[in-house]
C-alpha cells in the first residue's frame, strides 16, 4: 500500500478507510480537481457531498454529517492517488499561454455548463447575516470561502463582533458531529490580518488577548499570530509591563530576551506547576528539571511528544505514574523507536481501555486479543467503544477465534437495545463471526431468533450483503 494511503488509514481509522475504499470502487467519486495543496471533489453518498482534502496534513472536510476525515475524503484521495483527477494548476498555467479571446471562450464554455458558478459569484450576502442565529458547519464552510478576500479592517471588525456575540450564535461547535469548526472562520480572518500586519495592530492584539472576554479558540489564534510576528512588536513588548506574565514571558522569549522572561516567570506569583508550563516555552531544560522535581510528568510528556522527542517521552513515561489521555504520545514514541517492551508499562499503569487503544494504534494483535474481554465488559457497562471494537476486528482479520465468546456477548447486548444503530453494529459483528466460524454464527442466529422473535431489522441488515 502507498505510504500516504497507510498514513490516511492511520489518521482516518481502518473502518472509515475501508468504507472510503468501497466508495471509490463503486464509482461514487464524481470528480476531483487538484489546486495547490488541496483536492476539491464531489462524492456521491445519500446525496452529493463536497470534499476538500488537504494534501499537506492528509485531512479532509466535507459537507456530509460526519464533517471531518470521513469516507468521502478517503474516496477522493484514493481517486487522486490512482490518477483519477484534473490538475487545476496545469489548467491555470495553460491559460497564461492563451490570448484574451481564447480565455473568454474557455470561461464561456465553463459558465454554459455550470451556470450556478456565475450566480454564486454575484450573489451578495451580508457576512454578519451568517451569525444571526446558530452558525452551522455548512454555513461556516460557505462563509470560509468568502472570507478569503476580506480586508484587514473588516477582519478585525468581524473578530470583535464574534467575541461579543460568541454565545448568541452558538460558537463554532456541532454537537451532532461532536466537531469544532472555528478554524473555518478564524483561519481566514487571522490570515487577512497577518497579510498586512503593522505595529499599529499591537494594541488591538493586546485588547483581544488581555481586555476582552475572548473565547479560547479566538485567543489561541491571536496568540499564535502575535507570537509568530513578535519581532515586529519588539519595542511594544519591552514596554508592556501591564501585560500578563503568561503572555509577556512568551513574547520576551520569542524576541530573544530569554533571561528577562525567566526572571519574570520565577519572580511571579504563579504556582510551581504554572511556572513549569510557562518555562517550557522559554527554557525547556530548566522546565524539565523543575517538572521532574514536581512530578509534572504529564506536562513534560505532552511538550516533548509534540516535538517528536521520542526517547525523552519514553524516559519520562517510565518515571511517571500514568499518562492517561497523553498516552498517544507514548504510543507514537514506541512506534518510532521500536521499543515495544514499553507497552508493558502501559498495561501496568493505565486502565484496560487505554491500553487497548494503544494496542490498536501499535497493531499488537496478541495484546488486542488479550485485552478484548475487558473491552467487551467496558462496552457492556456503558462505555461506547463501537469504533474501537470494529477497528480491532479489522486488524485481526481471520484471527478472531479467541474473541468470539466476547463478541457474542456484545451482539446480545446490542440486540437487546432494539434500535436500528444497535442492530447495524450487531450485524457487522455477526458478519465477522460468520466469516471465520460459520457454525458459531448459525448458533448465534438461532439463539437470537428464539430470544427476540419479533425483530426484523437485524435480519434485513444481514441479508443486505
- At residue 46 the predicted structure's pLDDT band, cuts being 50, 70 and 90, is confident
- Distance from C-alpha of 277 to C-alpha of 225, rounded to nearest angstrom: 20
- Distance from C-alpha of 440 to C-alpha of 411, rounded to nearest angstrom: 13
Q: For the ranges 142-146, 244-248, 295-299, 369-373, which has the lowest average pLDDT?
A: 142-146
Predicted pLDDT at 119: 57
* pLDDT over threshold 90, residue 227: yes
Take residue 386 and report the three cell numbers written for it: 463501537
Predicted pLDDT at 121: 52
* pLDDT over threshold 60, residue 336: yes
- Distance from C-alpha of 190 to C-alpha of 301, rounded to nearest angstrom: 30
Q: In what order do the strands lie in the sheet with 86-87?
A: 59-62, 48-54, 38-44, 29-35, 86-87
Predicted pLDDT at 96: 80
The total of other beta-carbon atoms located within 10 Å of residue 227's CB is: 14
Predicted pLDDT at 125: 59
Question: How confident is the model over 259-285, as a mean pLDDT?
Answer: 93
Structural element, H or E, at residue 62: strand 59-62
Take residue 204 and report the three cell numbers written for it: 488591538
In percent, the amount of the chain with pLDDT more than 70 equals: 96
* pLDDT over threshold 60, residue 465: no
As a whole number of Å, the CA-based R_g of the chain is 27
Predicted pLDDT at 1: 55
DSSP structural state of residue 13: -
Each residue of 401-452: pLDDT tens digit? 999 999 999 999 999 998 988 999 999 999 999 999 999 999 999 999 999 9
Predicted pLDDT at 106: 72
* pLDDT over threshold 60, residue 91: yes
- The larger pLDDT score, comparing residue 179 to residue 405, is at 405
* Residue 456, CB-side half-sphere exposure with 13 Å CA sphere: 0
- CA distances (Å), origin 244, targets 252, 269, 277, 278: 12, 11, 15, 12
Predicted pLDDT at 454: 84
Global confidence as pTM: 0.64
- Distance from C-alpha of 441 to C-alpha of 450, rounded to nearest angstrom: 14
Q: Which residues contact 12 (CB under 8 A, 6 or more apart)?
A: 20, 69, 70, 73, 74
Each residue of 231-242: pLDDT tens digit? 999 999 999 888
Q: Residue 322: exposed, middle, or buried by beta-carbon count in 10 A (0-12, 13-18, 19+)?
A: middle
- Distance from C-alpha of 202 to C-alpha of 237, rounded to nearest angstrom: 9
Cα-flanking dihedrals φ and ψ of residue 119, to 5°?
A: -60, -40
In percent, the amount of the chain with pLDDT more than 90 equals: 67
Question: How confident is the model over 252-272, as a mean pLDDT?
Answer: 94
- At residue 88 the predicted structure's pLDDT band, cuts being 50, 70 and 90, is confident
* pLDDT over threshold 90, residue 2: no
* pLDDT over threshold 60, residue 303: yes
- Distance from C-alpha of 371 to C-alpha of 19, rounded to nearest angstrom: 26
- At residue 149 the predicted structure's pLDDT band, cuts being 50, 70 and 90, is confident
Which residues in 448-464 are b (16+ Cβ under 10 Å) and which e? beeeeeeeeebeebbee
Question: How confident is the model over 217-225, as a mean pLDDT?
Answer: 94
Amino acid at each position: 500500500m502507498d505510504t500516504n494511503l497507510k498514513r490516511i488509514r492511520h489518521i482516518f481509522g481502518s473502518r472509515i478507510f475501508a468504507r472510503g475504499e468501497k466508495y471509490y470502487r463503486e464509482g461514487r467519486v464524481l470528480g476531483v480537481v487538484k489546486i495547490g495543496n488541496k483536492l476539491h471533489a464531489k462524492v456521491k453518498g445519500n446525496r452529493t457531498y463536497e470534499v476538500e482534502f488537504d494534501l499537506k496534513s492528509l485531512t479532509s472536510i466535507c459537507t456530509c454529517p460526519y464533517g471531518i476525515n470521513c469516507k468521502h475524503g478517503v474516496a477522493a484521495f484514493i481517486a487522486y492517488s490512482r490518477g483519477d483527477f484534473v490538475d487545476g494548476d496545469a489548467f491555470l498555467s495553460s491559460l497564461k499561454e492563451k490570448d484574451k479571446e481564447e480565455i473568454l471562450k474557455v470561461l464561456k464554455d465553463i459558465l454554459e455548463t455550470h451556470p450556478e458558478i456565475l450566480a454564486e459569484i454575484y450573489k451578495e450576502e451580508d457576512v454578519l447575516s451568517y451569525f444571526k442565529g446558530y452558525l452551522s458547519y455548512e454555513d461556516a464552510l460557505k462563509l470560509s470561502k468568502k472570507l478569503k478576500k476580506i480586508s484587514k479592517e473588516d477582519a478585525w471588525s468581524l473578530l470583535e463582533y464574534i467575541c461579543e456575540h460568541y454565545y448568541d450564535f452558538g460558537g463554532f461547535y456541532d454537537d451532532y458531529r461532536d466537531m469544532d469548526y472555528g478554524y473555518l472562520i478564524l483561519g481566514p480572518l487571522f490570515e487577512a490580518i497577518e497579510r498586512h500586519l503593522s505595529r499599529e495592530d499591537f494594541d488591538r492584539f493586546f485588547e483581544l488577548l488581555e481586555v476582552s472576554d475572548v473565547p479560547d479558540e479566538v485567543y489561541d489564534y491571536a496568540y499564535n499570530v502575535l507570537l509568530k510576528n513578535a519581532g515586529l512588536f519588539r519595542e511594544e513588548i519591552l514596554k508592556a509591563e501591564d501585560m500578563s506574565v503568561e503572555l509577556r514571558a512568551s513574547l520576551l522569549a520569542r524576541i530573544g530576551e530569554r533571561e528577562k522572561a525567566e526572571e519574570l516567570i520565577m519572580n511571579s506569583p504563579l504556582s510551581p506547576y504554572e511556572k513549569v508550563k510557562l518555562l517550557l516555552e522559554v527554557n525547556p531544560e530548566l522546565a524539565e528539571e523543575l517538572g521532574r522535581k514536581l512530578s509534572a510528568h504529564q506536562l513534560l510528556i505532552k511538550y516533548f511528544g509534540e516535538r517528536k522527542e521520542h526517547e525523552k517521552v519514553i524516559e519520562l513515561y517510565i518515571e511517571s505514574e500514568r499518562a492517561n489521555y497523553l498516552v498517544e504520545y507514548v504510543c507514537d514514541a514506541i512506534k518510532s523507536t521500536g521499543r515495544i517492551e514499553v507497552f508493558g508499562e502501559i498495561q501496568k499503569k493505565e486502565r484496560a481501555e487505554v491500553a487497548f487503544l494503544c494496542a490498536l494504534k501499535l497493531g499488537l494483535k496478541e495484546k488486542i486479543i488479550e485485552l478484548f474481554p475487558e473491552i467487551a465488559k467496558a462496552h457492556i457497562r456503558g462505555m461506547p467503544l463501537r469504533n474501537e471494537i470494529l477497528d480491532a476486528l479489522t486488524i485481526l482479520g481471520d484471527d478472531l477465534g479467541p474473541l468470539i465468546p466476547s463478541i457474542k456477548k456484545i451482539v446480545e447486548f446490542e440486540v437487546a437495545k432494539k434500535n436500528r444503530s444497535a442492530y447495524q453494529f450487531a450485524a457487522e459483528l455477526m458478519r465477522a463471526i460468520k466469516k471465520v466460524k460459520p457454525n458459531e454464527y448459525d448458533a448465534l442466529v438461532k439463539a437470537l431468533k428464539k430470544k427476540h422473535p419479533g425483530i426484523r431489522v437485524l435480519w434485513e441488515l444481514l441479508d443486505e450483503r
